[in-house]
Amino acid sequence: MSNRPNQIPMRAVPGYYSSTEGIQIAIQTGANASDEDLQFFQQLGVEWAMVGVREPEQHNLDFYKSLVKRFGEWGIKIYRVTNISVHNVPEITLNLPGRDEKVEEFKQFIRNIGAAGIYYNTYAHMGNGIWHSGRAEGRGGMDARRLDISDAVGRWGDKIYSGELTHGRAYSEEELWDNYAHLMREIVPVAEEAGVRIGIHPDDPPVYPLGGIPRCMFGNFDGYKKAMEIADSPNIGVCLCVGCWLEGGTVGMGNSPVDAIKHFASKGQLFKVHFRNVSNPMPEPWVETLIDDGYQNMYEVMKALREVKFDGCIIPDHIPNMLGGHRVGVAYSIAYMRALVQAANHEFGGPA
């Protein structure tokens, strides 16, 4: 069990344990993962999984317990369960009709995962989804997400957002801050009681504004700091998506991913990291890349995580499609990340 300062060690949470120290590499998969999928994850040597649960009727305590049991039989622990019904919720972000019901649904979700032995959740506070402009060809013709803000649309679940006003009017920063503060007043006591940490994901992309909605909280460093002060809880922190940070760039975000890692880790607020790269920062159009093919030297990011003794999970995210199917990109990304972890550990004299 870790008791280092300046971090929140996930393995210090009751029921969590890893056979390795320091930075942990995790996989993303679905609740319907086959035995072959789980064997593939074993072969990659990952010990953690982020599991997407897509069917609404499966979001209950018994099903979460069954997932923990099944993955555990393959030597894999569940770090996070995805529930898109309480993630990127316009009713909460914009105070639309149904907000109270959504907040109560979020509370019960947090209680359920905690009771199932899952002690972390990622939450995004966007009112009109993740925006992009379709697909583009990357290195060697691989298929990857692109964004040109001039023709981008927002998507979340089965909803599509476009135009200057995606919700009929422009919203003010004050409104969004008030709505966020309301959520924190409601969810913080539940998260603390359940022993669940909530990491808030950056806006994707961090463009101000989009569809009449200012991305003032999680689209820049100063907004993030203010949001953490409002939450004022050891259970509310950051899911740092390096890719989103790179989309905004150092100028747009207010600092670099390396500086963000050092700041949030120093406050005990860095819970999870999405380890991905992009071709260039905005305002020029960008394309998502494999880890080694974007404008950020990702070894510098990994060294920063090792320097702050990060003791949570990192995952590959938005992996471009390569020939041979999805597993090729997954294996490439996990192997590259593992090599960077080993190199950083070697440079710093061993695991954190």
Q: Which residue has the higher pLDDT, 110 or 349?
A: 110
Q: Looking at residue 2, what DSSP letter applies? A: -
Handedness of CA 223, 229, 232, 238 (dihedral sign): positive
168 pLDDT higher than 90? yes
Which alpha helices (DSSP H) does 257-325 contain, by range?
A: 257-266, 298-307
- Cis ω for the linkage preceding 9 (within 30 of 0): no
The per-residue pLDDT for 2 is 34
Question: What does the radius of gyration of the chain's CA atoms come to, in whole angstroms?
Answer: 19
- What average pLDDT does range 66-94 have in this prediction? 97
9 pLDDT higher than 80? no
The per-residue pLDDT for 157 is 86
317 pLDDT higher than 90? yes
Q: Looking at residue 203, what DSSP letter applies? A: P
Collect all residues with Cβ–Cβ distance below 8 Å to 15 and sequence separation of at least 6. 117, 119
Q: Which residue has the higher pLDDT, 164 or 19?
A: 164
pLDDT of 26-36, one tens digit each? 999 999 999 99
Model confidence at 20, pLDDT cuts 50, 70, 90, reads: low
Handedness of CA 188, 194, 199, 200 (dihedral sign): negative
Distances (CA, A) of 197 to 110, 187, 269, 275, 283: 9, 11, 10, 20, 33
Asked if residues 47 and 76 have their Cβ atoms less than 8 Å apart, the reply is: yes
| Largest separation between any pair of C-alpha atoms in the chain | 56
Asked if residues 317 and 243 have their Cβ atoms less than 8 Å apart, the reply is: yes
Burial class (CB in 10 A: 0-12, 13-18, 19+), 3: exposed
- What average pLDDT does range 259-279 have in this prediction? 98
Identify the bridge partners of residue 287 per DSSP, sorted by sequence position. 146
Q: What angle do CA 266, 270, 271 make, to 5 degrees?
A: 145
**Topology (CATH) of 22-344:** TIM Barrel (3.20.20)
User: What is the distance between the alpha carbons of residues 94 and 96, in angstroms, rounded to a whole number?
Assistant: 6
Model-wide pTM > 0.95: no
Q: Work out whether strand 120-124 and strand 197-201 pair parallel, antiparallel, or are unpaired.
A: parallel
Q: Return the domain boundaries, the chain.
A: 22-344
Asked if residues 123 and 83 have their Cβ atoms less than 8 Å apart, the reply is: no
Helix (H, G, I), strand (E, B) or coil at 161: strand
